[in-house]
Amino acid sequence: MIAWQLFLNPMMLPSGLVLYLVIPLCVSVAVVYKTVRAPSLRRLWIEIPFAVVYMLAGLAALAVALFLIQEYCL
């Protein structure tokens, strides 16, 4: 049995499960971005969920647009 090494033997994930990794990615980007850009840290935990929803909605709109381009324009 081969020991798991990060970049030599990557873990296999089902293809449908990979999309759920977008949510923690958006949360981590929103935390870093809002921490750097927020004028006051008091509103930080109020602004982070809005940024996450904004990013996820943008990714969903981009996915729909690319799907429509692929299906009807090519």
pLDDT band at 22 (very low <50, low <70, confident <90, very high): very high
Task: Determine what percent of the chain is predicted with pLDDT higher than 70.
Answer: 95
Give the number of C-alpha atoms closer than 13 A to the C-alpha of residue 8, restricted to the C-beta side.
4
Cα distance between residue 30 and residue 34, in whole Å: 6
Please say if the pLDDT value at position 1 is more than 60: no
Domain count, the chain: 1
At 4, give phi and psi (nearest 5°): -75, 125
Is residue 64 domain-resident?
yes
Residue 46 falls within a domain, yes or no?
Answer: yes
* Residue 25 located in a structural domain: no
Does any domain span residue 30? no
Q: Is residue 12 part of a domain?
A: no
Provide the whole-model pTM: 0.79
pLDDT of residue 3: 66
pLDDT digits (tens, 9 = 90+) for 39-60: 889 999 999 999 999 999 999 9
Cβ–Cβ under 8 Å, residues 46 and 56: no
* Residue 18 in domain: no
Q: Which two tokens stand for residue 54?
A: 């904004």
Predicted confidence at residue 2, as pLDDT, reads 60
Cα(20)–Cα(26) distance, integer angstroms: 11
Range of the domain at 52: 39-74
